[in-house]
A and B are shown apart, each in its own frame.
Chain A
Amino acid sequence: MAISISVTVNGKTYNHEVEPRMLLVHYLRDVLRLTGTHVGCDTSGCGACTVVVNGRAVKSCTMLAAQADGAEITTIEGLASNGDLHPLQEGFREEHGLQCGFCTPGMIMTAWQILQDNPNPSEEEIRHGLEGNLCRCTGYQNIVKAIQYAAKKIG
C-alpha cells in the first residue's frame, strides 16, 4: 500500500509515494535528505525531532508522513535566509547554547514556537516551553540565554 502525498517543506513542494508506516522524521531525513532534524527516542520523549507543522511545533517521530499530506513544514534547514542565520541560530552560537549539538535542531524549532506564541518570554516561560526537549550534555542555562538573545534581537 502506497500513499501519494504532497508536502511543502521550507517553502518547496514535494510529491512522493510513501508507505503508510513511514514516520514524518524518516521522510524528512531519508527521502528529502534533510538530515538536520534528528531522531532521538522515537517515543516523543526527547524532542530532537521537533519540526513546525502548519505553524505548530510537533514531534516528527510520532506523526506519519502520510498525515503530512497538504501540510506546510519548517525544519531547521528552513530558518536561515540568504545565508544569514536566524536570530535563534545566531543566539545558540553566541551564547554557546550547545555542546554536541544533537538536541539543537529540536531545541531551536521549539524555541521558534515559544517566540511565536510570546515574543518576549520570561526565563520561566522559556524553561516551561522547553519541557519537551532534552539536552544530555549539560544544563539548560546557555540554551535559555540563546533564546533570550534571539528574543531581544527579533524584538
Chain B
Amino acid sequence: MKPPPFDYFAPQTLEEVLQLLEQYGDDAKVLAGGQSLIPTMNFRLAQPAVLIDLNGIRELADIQESDEEITVGAMTRQRMLEKSVIIREKTPLIFETIPHIAHVQIRNRGTVGGNLAHADPASELPAVMVTLNATFKLQSLKSERWVSASDFFQGMYMTALQPEEILTEVRIPVQAVTGLYGFEEVARRHGDYALAGVSVLVHLDENQNCEDVRITYFSVGEAPVPAHNAVQFLTGQPLEDEIISEAAELAANNDIDPHDDIHASAKYRRHLAKILTIRALQKAKNRNKPN
C-alpha cells in the first residue's frame, strides 16, 4: 500500500462534511479531485488520520451565471471549466488558462476548489483568480464568510482556511467587454509546473489609457504575486510597446522576488517574468478593438 492508513468518509451532503470537519478539524483532510493530495499521500508526505471525500456532494459541482458574476462550485472539474460555454464567453482569461493546467487526465479529476485550496505557488488558477478579483466562500458548521482571492492566498500551501472550514464556491466578476487579457507561462514540458507565469487584465478608459490594470505572477514567489509597481506605472498610460516594455522591466525588478531552485535560477525567472509580461500585455493590447 502506498498511502498510510486513514479513516475514510464519503458524505453525501455538505452538512455532513461540515459536521465531520467540526469533529476532526486538523486531523482531517478534504479529498476533492485528489490530483495533488493522493500523490502527496503516496509519498507519505501527508498522513491525514481522516479523509473526507467530497466527490459525492453533487451540489458543489456546477457553473452558474448572472449579469455581473459567474459562480463556480468547488467540486467543478477543471475539464468542466474547459468545456463550459459560460467560462469561454464570460471569463475568457480562465478559458485561455485551462489548457496550461497539467493535462487532460488530471483535468478530468482535478477540481477548481481543490486547485485553489491546495495553494501551490506554481499553480495557474490561484493567480488568475487574483487577477479576476474573485471571491471565495468559506464555510464551516458555525460560520460562512467570503474572502477575496488576494486575501485567501497567504503563502506556500497556506490559505485563509481554518481547519474546520471548507471552500465551497468561487465568485468571479464577469470580464467587462473592455477587459483585455493575456496569459503566458513557460514550462519545460507542456503541462508541467511553470518556471514562471503571468496573467493580466486591463481596462482602458475612453482615451485608450489604462484605467484598471491587474497583473499577477505565479511560480515566482510563495503565493500569487501582484505587480504593484508595474500597475501603478501603467495606470493612465496608453498600452504602447515602449510603455509595456518599461512596465515589464519594472515588474521583473521590483515586484517579484523569485527563488533559485533545481528548475531555474532566480535570475532566469526574472528574465522570464519580464518577457512573459511583455507578451501578455501585447496580447491584451492586440485584443483591443477601439470603435
Contact = CB atoms under 8 A, between A and B. Distances in A.
Interface in B64-116: 79, 99, 102-106, 108-109
A61 B42 CA distance: 9
Interface stretch (A6-14, A21-29, A90-98): A21-29
A132 B3 contact: no
A62 B104 contact: no
Interface stretch (B5-13, B235-243, B282-290): B5-13
Contacts, number: 95
Interface in A44-64: 44, 47, 50, 56-59, 61-64
Interface of A: 1, 3, 19-23, 26, 42-44, 47, 50, 56-59, 61-64, 66-67, 69, 110, 113, 128-129, 131-132
B76 to A, nearest CB: 14
Central interface residue in B41, B104, B105, by most chain A CB within 10 Å: B105
Contacts of B190: 128, 131
A47 B105 contact: yes
Contacts of A69: 10
B1 A22 contact: yes
Given A21-B6, A132-B106, 17 more contacts: A1-B8, A20-B6, A21-B5, A23-B3, A44-B35, A44-B102, A50-B105, A57-B105, A57-B108, A58-B109, A59-B106, A62-B34, A63-B34, A63-B38, A64-B8, A64-B53, A131-B104
Contacts of A42: 2, 39, 42-43
Interface in B222-266: none
By CB atoms of chain B within 10 A, which of A1, A57, A58, A129 has the most?
Answer: A58
Contacts of B39: 42-44, 61-62
A131 B190 CA distance: 7
A44 B42 CA distance: 10
A19 B5 contact: yes
Nearest to B108: A56
Contacts of B42: 23, 42-43, 61-62
Contacts of A131: 103-104, 189-191
B149 interface: no
Nearest to B191: A131
Nearest to B109: A58
Given A23-B42, A63-B34, A132 B4 contact: no
A1 B55 CA distance: 19
Contacts of B41: 21
